[in-house]
Amino acid sequence: MNANERVGCMNVKAWLLSLLLVGSISIVEASAPARADAMSDAINRGNLRVGIAAETLLPWVGRNKAGGLIGYEVDVARDVAAALGVNARFVEIPYASLQNHLLAGDVDVIISGFSVTAERAKTVLFSNTYGETDFWLVVDTKTLPAGADKGEYDVEGYKVGVLADTVSETQALNLFQKAEIVRLAGAPAARAALEAGQLNAIVVPTPYPTFMNLRYPDRFLVGSTSLFGTSQAMAVRTDSFRLLNFINAWIVERQANGWLGGARSYWFGSLKWLSRLDKEPGATDEQPAKVEETSR
């Protein structure tokens, strides 16, 4: 076989090999399951499945006199869905289980005062932040510990209520080394327990300190500065890039045109929305739930 014949034979072999490789890739692609696109699915269904806390967490989420969902996050979710051209389908889930249900595919997005943390970012994608929240220590002046005149509340036997399974609990465990941390299901429950004398202090977000000072101006003490702050964002699954891009565009647009600022001013800068409720958040005529579960 001369040199030209050998070259021709090699070219034929290379061509045949390329055909085999292309065929193999096509077979693999054909056999691989199609990856769902959360944004396309929502558009095809006609609704965006929004994971939202089942607990009363006003002004983020709660219910009005007629039992309908209201709150800052409800308004946000409805506007996001409307911009996508679909309806918001709210799926109420215990706050601590929101991330699990997102990963399981039960919802498309979490919009529920969901704080950004590095731990959560291991399994979900966060949008740009669209809200910030300060957390405060509210102290019952009737049960001040020794040395409290110097602002010392981290003492043995002192009970501090926190919102279970939230950033509030995580931060409180770092801030208080001696006090007993008591886990409660939401700010209303924490407020009710403090008012009933079951706790010495609670860590709650804005605007709960305002509610308590209005109701008992001479009893509760709130620090001049917040204990810590958090930033809230929406969360999607790690394969939902198109939906995440859309949400980020919505946030940029609504920040620029003032919509988000107006919504936050209404829900966090005023108490006008209280008229839509049967009772002020946390106010109750019933006995508060018994405080039992503690952690350290």
What are residue 140's phi and psi, to 5 degrees?
Answer: -85, 110
Give the tens place of pLDDT for each residue, 142-170: 887 776 666 788 888 889 999 888 888 88
b/e sequence 8-43, b meaning 16+ C-beta within 10 Å: eeeeeeeeeeeeeeeeeeeeeeeeeeeeeebbebbe
What would the pLDDT profile of 66-112 be if each residue is shown by its tens digit? Answer: 999 999 999 999 999 999 999 999 999 999 899 999 999 999 999 99
How far is residue 262 CA from its own chain's centroid?
20
Q: At what angle do helices 259-268 and 72-84 cross, to 10 degrees?
A: 160
209: preceding bond cis by omega (within 30 degrees): no
Class of domain 38-130+233-276: alpha beta
The angle at the Cα of 105, spanning 91 to 34, to the nearest 5 degrees, equals 140
**CA-to-CA distance for 88 and 105, rounded, in angstroms?**
16
pLDDT of residue 19: 44
What digits encode the pLDDT tens for the residues 3-14? Answer: 455 545 445 454
197-246, pLDDT tens digit by residue? 999 999 988 888 888 888 888 899 887 789 899 999 999 999 999 999 99
Report how far residue 106's alpha carbon sits from residue 101's, in angstroms, rounded to the nearest whole number.
5
Nearest to 57 by CA among 228, 236, 205, 246: 205
pLDDT, position 56: 85
Domain with CATH 3.40.190.10 in the chain: 38-130+233-276, 134-229
Backbone angles phi, psi at 226, to 5 degrees: -70, 155
Please tell us whether the domain made up of 134-229 is placed in CATH 3.40.50.10490: no
Q: Up-side HSE of residue 246: CA atoms within 13 Å toward CB?
A: 21
pLDDT of 30: 40
Q: What is the pLDDT of residue 285?
A: 43
